[in-house]
Chains A and B, each alone.
Chain A
């Protein structure tokens, strides 16, 4: 059993490293990345420890709480995190594993239910998330032993439930092979991307969770009491050990057959993927030839729309700035200065889409390298593709600002377009500043992301300085100067 799970793990991570040409050109980094990626124990332990650090702070919060209602509410909220991990990793990573063809060599082997290996592999990828909740369970167990242990089992139950929901998503969306491009695919994929946001939205809420729980624990205690049999409220029953344990057993009894059913359906789907045809058969085909940059952007947009996981990453700027926009708008007015601050924030977070934008080409990078494509054109194409979503959000901000402030809001136009372009250019120049014409997918290391974040903050800080004196137009002149400077770098 573990041999096959290990094979899947190694194969998936090997392919991820292999598809990174930037690593291939750097033997030392390649070997290091491969060493870490192929060692299941090392990689999972590293992830677990990272999450444990996060979980440690969360556990410390519980340590100082004495109210049982507050602790129950805390457990309810916390149990959502491994649940979301399980849903997300199962559906997205599961779909990727099948899409990569990792199961192809297994198809010809006499395996009865190969999907159980996929399930175990995915559970292995999910397990490090326990690091976030484990310290809390330990802290509760120190103070109240039995509820502490039960809380841990509820976290495990959350993972199992999330895993089953992820498997259901996989059965419904992840194992189909769509044959033709249809117009409805954009809508369906946007809906899916929004669902991903909702999952992540709960992570965002975690930041505010502690304060919120302190203030509203009384209301939640009532809610937990009322809906105590429904997850995640059920995990708030830890201080009624007998009831909570029976509930856990009932959950397990209910989920086990569903799990088995899902595993069966997934294996059928892997062995014989369901082919979905587009809305209608198109008889002719269109061949167009556009200038290089437009060709590159068109290709990026088509692929983003067709691959949900990429679309979710592409729209990440929207997800990051949405709560801020919501908070500002909820005040009932929208002064120009607030709009500028949001536009600067949009600009700074425009870089968030880089991962999705670069992953578009990861499978076809060798093909791309056979074409007479200049690195400069590739980089400019990517900058514009990366700026599409921030430009869209910026336009929405502009419209709202026009509604509240009249035509004066037109002063925002340069910032709407310049800031995302500046941020995207900085990111792309950072990764593609090497001399050679080779096009590759850069290795996005965490340290690079931190350095990039600091650079972007510095640039946005410089652009923001005139705003201290309410000089929006000066800020725009500064932005324009930086834009011109970047254009010179891009030309070179």
Chain B
């Protein structure tokens, strides 16, 4: 459970992500996705409950957990007065990555996401999409065993989004655990092995696509999502109301 002052924002959430699995975490805005992912990454603390990553308790041992996690936040909050090259060096130093390996990995990622020309520019001057790419690279540099991504496709150009998608599939095949939240439902449908649906701080459904289809009696993920989050019936009324004022 997670409480912000008196308000309960997460309540009774319980799920497990296996090695070699991509777990999609879906939910409407403000449903508690980011809070859950931040708790998993050791950035926030739960008010009560137990969070384990690869057998390590996150609350009591956050530093050890952060060593094996790669966390990409929803909005990249980086050091704006540093250049990407300086930021990657900073991360390499903090994570204790060997300089030769660090250089090799940075070069590969920089090439893949085409950010070479921005490497000596201050991060604060770069576009949201470029910052997002930097944030992604920053979280992959130490070759994490667990990847947590919070709507990380936001702002990416189609090529980079495709590269990231392929990368995630490859990571899964290597046995890494990946958990990511997204509003791009076709993407979730395409790559997720299992999906968890969170609504008003509670996990309301979980399973493979087939299991979710059966539960909601709907075919595609968008309809499943709208039905399970009780949004489908409201849709016609909302659109009607908007048409009246516009």
Q: Point out the residue from A181, A285, A367 that lies within 8 Å of B77, measured CB to CB.
A: A367
| Contact call B83/A181, Cβ cutoff below 8 A | yes
Please give the distance in Å from A307's CB to the nearest CB on chain B: 6
B-facing residues in A291-342 (Cβ within 8 Å): 291-292, 294-296, 298-299, 302-303, 306-307
B214 at the interface (CB under 8 A from A): no
Q: How far is the CA of A307 from the CA of B92 in the complex (A)?
A: 24
| Contact call B81/A373, Cβ cutoff below 8 A | no
Interface readout for B94-125 with A: 1 if CB under 8 Å, 0 if not? Answer: 11111100110010000000001001111011
| Contact call A372/B94, Cβ cutoff below 8 A | yes
Q: Which candidate, A106-114, A172-180, A228-236, A444-452, is the interface stretch facing chain B?
A: A172-180
A371 at the interface (CB under 8 A from B): yes
| Contact call B92/A288, Cβ cutoff below 8 A | yes
Q: How far is the CA of A365 from the CA of B80 in the complex (A)?
A: 12
Q: Point out the residue from A178, A278, A371 that lies within 8 Å of B91, measured CB to CB.
A: A371
Specify the chain A residue showing the minimal Cβ separation from B70: A370
Q: Give the residues in chain A near B226, CB-CB below 8 Å.
A: none
| Contact call A287/B77, Cβ cutoff below 8 A | no
Interface readout for B45-85 with A: 1 if CB under 8 Å, 0 if not? Answer: 10000000000000000111111010101001111111111
Q: How far is the CA of A367 from the CA of B87 in the complex (A)?
A: 11
| Contact call B102/A289, Cβ cutoff below 8 A | yes
| Contact call A367/B81, Cβ cutoff below 8 A | no
| Contact call A285/B119, Cβ cutoff below 8 A | yes
Q: How far is the CA of A307 from the CA of B79 in the complex (A)?
A: 12
Specify the chain B residue showing the minimal Cβ separation from A299: B90
Q: How far is the CA of A366 from the CA of B138 in the complex (A)?
A: 14
| Contact call A289/B89, Cβ cutoff below 8 A | yes
Please give the distance in Å from B162's CB to the nearest CB on chain A: 25
Name the interface size band of chain B: 35 or more
| Contact call A370/B81, Cβ cutoff below 8 A | no
A50 at the interface (CB under 8 A from B): no
A207 at the interface (CB under 8 A from B): no
Please give the distance in Å from B67's CB to the nearest CB on chain A: 4
| Contact call A287/B106, Cβ cutoff below 8 A | yes
With A27-B5, A371-B95, A372-B63 already in contact, the answer to whether A363 and B85 are too (CB < 8 A) is: no
Q: How far is the CA of A374 from the CA of B85 in the complex (A)?
A: 23
| Contact call B43/A292, Cβ cutoff below 8 A | no
With A177-B125, A180-B120, A180-B122 already in contact, the answer to whether A287 and B79 are too (CB < 8 A) is: no
| Contact call B66/A372, Cβ cutoff below 8 A | yes
Q: Give the residues in chain A near B139, CB-CB below 8 Å.
A: 370
| Contact call A364/B90, Cβ cutoff below 8 A | no
Q: How far is the CA of A80 from the CA of B46 in the complex (A)?
A: 52
B-facing residues in A275-289 (Cβ within 8 Å): 275, 278, 282, 285-289
Please give the distance in Å from A183's CB to the nearest CB on chain B: 13
| Contact call A363/B79, Cβ cutoff below 8 A | yes
B186 at the interface (CB under 8 A from A): no
Q: How far is the CA of A282 from the CA of B120 in the complex (A)?
A: 7
B88 at the interface (CB under 8 A from A): yes
Interface readout for A16-46 with B: 1 if CB under 8 Å, 0 if not? Answer: 0000000000010001000000000000000
A369 at the interface (CB under 8 A from B): yes
Q: Give the residues in chain A near B200, CB-CB below 8 Å.
A: none
| Contact call B122/A287, Cβ cutoff below 8 A | no
Please give the distance in Å from A338's CB to the nearest CB on chain B: 39
Q: Point out the residue from B93, B98, B102, B122 that lies within 8 Å of A179, measured CB to CB.
A: B122
B41 at the interface (CB under 8 A from A): yes
A-facing residues in B185-207 (Cβ within 8 Å): none
Q: Point out the residue from B67, B81, B84, B124 that lies within 8 Å of A372, measured CB to CB.
A: B67
A272 at the interface (CB under 8 A from B): no
A290 at the interface (CB under 8 A from B): yes
With A366-B73, A370-B66 already in contact, the answer to whether A299 and B82 are too (CB < 8 A) is: yes
Q: Give the residues in chain A near B63, CB-CB below 8 Å.
A: 372-374, 437
Q: Give the residues in chain B near A367, CB-CB below 8 Å.
A: 73, 76-79, 138
Specify the chain B residue showing the minimal Cβ separation from A293: B93
Q: How far is the CA of A363 from the CA of B80 in the complex (A)?
A: 8
| Contact call A287/B78, Cβ cutoff below 8 A | no
With A179-B125, A282-B120, A289-B89 already in contact, the answer to whether A364 and B79 are too (CB < 8 A) is: yes
- Identify 11 residue pairs between A and B in the complex whose beta-carbon atoms are under 8 Å apart, listed by A's number: A180-B83, A275-B125, A285-B85, A287-B88, A288-B89, A289-B93, A295-B92, A364-B77, A364-B79, A367-B73, A367-B76
**Which residues in B have some Cβ–Cβ distance to A below 8 Å?**
5, 41-43, 45, 62-67, 69, 71, 73, 76-86, 88-99, 102-103, 106, 116, 119-122, 124-125, 138-139
Contacts beyond the supplied A286-B89, A295-B92, A370-B69: 13 A-B pairs with Cβ under 8 Å: A179-B122, A275-B125, A285-B84, A287-B85, A289-B93, A292-B94, A295-B93, A303-B81, A363-B79, A370-B43, A372-B64, A372-B94, A373-B66
Q: Which 7 A-B pairs have the closest CB atoms?
A: A295-B93, A289-B92, A285-B85, A372-B66, A285-B119, A289-B99, A372-B67
